[in-house]
């Protein structure tokens, strides 16, 4: 009897200790509302007959994020995140929210694992710094026509792409002044959410996409630096009209910070991304950028430049852009915590190899954003 009583007492004590080591799940609700007023122009007219371009419009983008987080025994943290917003990357009516991210995660001494629809390991990649609406990496494309202007981005690929994937980040290893972290992602297909790939990819898209990124952070007082090489590879369509070719892309980015200034740049070689298996598309595909940001008190200012070349299917199958350049200027002022006014100006120039036509234009934007 005494042995049973002791065993029962020990079991209760163990359960109590385990429960004490755990914390209740905390659920938080956040988001933002972003009002934008823009003036815009493109010299290349739309191919749609009988239509003329507008020169200005308003736009509202909103975002709602639900996050849950708990802490378990052994200093294990875990949680989930759901992000809904109405951003469709264009200036059309988009009042219905869609799921952008939805994933579960767990972290501890082993690192961090994310499972679901999320950005992936390229989140560790750095490039030209921006402020507010993002200048060359921002919302200006919401006021341009995807059928006439290429959607070049600082890492060539969509940095907010959310195919269902598994991502692992190692712990940051090193000492107080020098650390390195590795990240890797795997997506069986380009589908997201509840969609599943029951057949091989057909007519575009990629399977077995792998992202790998390393990030080094160092302090060389009074300067801090970040360096991030990355690689992306994927298998193209196995059937259908488009028959995408397998691709491997690589890039490197870096930033240096000193006394409120951030200087950054990156280069990405996109390899055979978005090219077809008939091997007729062999022109170079790359993008590079450079930028400078300065932040002081409630003010932030930035200037950045991007140049790229590559195949752009949104302009038409096989369309190759010889030269795309964009100059971005931005400024922000934070009135109160969460309330920011931003001014953005992006000037772009695009030349197409197939037609030889230039598309020159700009987007001038003023925005008021509340983040909560």
Name the percent of the chain lying above pLDDT 70.
88
Kindly tell me if the per-residue pLDDT of 117 is higher than 90.
Answer: yes
User: 3-state class of 75 per DSSP?
Assistant: helix
Pick 178 or 74 by higher pLDDT.
178
How far, CA to CA in Å, does 312 sit from each of 30, 97, 123, 162, 326? 35, 27, 23, 20, 16
pLDDT of residue 11: 35
How would residue 299 be classed by pLDDT, with cut points 50, 70 and 90? very high
- The class (CATH top level) of 26-371 is mainly beta
pLDDT digits (tens, 9 = 90+) for 209-222: 999 999 999 999 99
How would residue 16 be classed by pLDDT, with cut points 50, 70 and 90? very low
Instruction: Give the residue among 164, 159, 148 at the shortest CA–CA distance from 90.
Output: 148
Tally the residues of the chain. Answer: 372
Span 328-343, average pLDDT = 98
Residue with tokens 């001038």: 364
Residue ranges covered by each domain of the chain:
26-371
Prediction pTM value? 0.88
Pick 11 or 304 by higher pLDDT.
304
Stretch among 75-79, 157-161, 218-222 having the lowest mean pLDDT: 157-161
């Amino acid at each position: 009897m005494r042995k049973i009583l002791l065993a029962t007492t020990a079991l209760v004590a163990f359960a109590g200790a385990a429960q004490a080591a755990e914390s209740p799940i905390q659920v938080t609700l956040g988001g933002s509302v972003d009002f934008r007023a823009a003036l815009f122009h493109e010299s290349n007219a739309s191919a749609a007959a009988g239509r003329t371009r507008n020169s200005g419009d308003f736009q509202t983008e909103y975002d709602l994020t639900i996050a849950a987080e708990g802490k378990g025994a052994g200093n294990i943290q875990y949680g989930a995140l759901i992000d809904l917003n109405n951003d469709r990357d264009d200036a059309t009516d988009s009042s219905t929210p869609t799921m952008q991210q939805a994933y579960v995660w767990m972290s501890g001494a082993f690192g961090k694992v994310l499972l679901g629809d999320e950005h992936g390991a390229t989140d560790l990649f750095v490039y030209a710094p921006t402020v507010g609406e993002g200048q060359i990496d921002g919302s200006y494309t919401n006021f341009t026509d995807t059928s006439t202007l290429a959607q070049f981005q600082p890492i060539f690929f969509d940095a907010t792409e959310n195919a269902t994937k598994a991502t692992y980040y190692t712990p940051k290893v090193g000492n107080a002044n020098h650390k390195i972290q590795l990240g890797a992602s795997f997506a069986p297909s380009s589908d997201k959410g509840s969609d599943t790939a029951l057949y091989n990819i057909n007519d575009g898209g990629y399977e077995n996409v792998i992202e790998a990124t390393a990030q080094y952070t160092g302090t060389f007082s009074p300067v801090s630096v970040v360096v991030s090489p990355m690689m992306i590879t994927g298998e193209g369509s196995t059937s259908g009209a488009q028959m995408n070719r397998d691709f491997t892309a690589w890039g490197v980015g870096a930033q240096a910070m000193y006394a409120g200034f951030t200087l950054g740049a990156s280069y990405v070689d996109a390899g055979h991304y978005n090219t077809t298996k008939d091997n007729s598309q062999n022109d170079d595909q790359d993008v590079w950028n450079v930028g400078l940001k300065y932040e002081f008190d409630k003010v932030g200012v930035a200037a950045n430049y991007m140049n790229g070349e590559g195949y752009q299917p949104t302009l038409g199958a096989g369309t190759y852009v010889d030269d795309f350049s964009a100059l971005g200027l931005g400024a922000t002022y934070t009135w109160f915590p969460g309330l920011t006014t931003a001014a953005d100006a992006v000037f772009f120039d695009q030349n197409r190899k197939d037609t030889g036509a230039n598309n020159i234009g700009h987007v001038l934007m003023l925005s008021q954003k509340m983040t909560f």
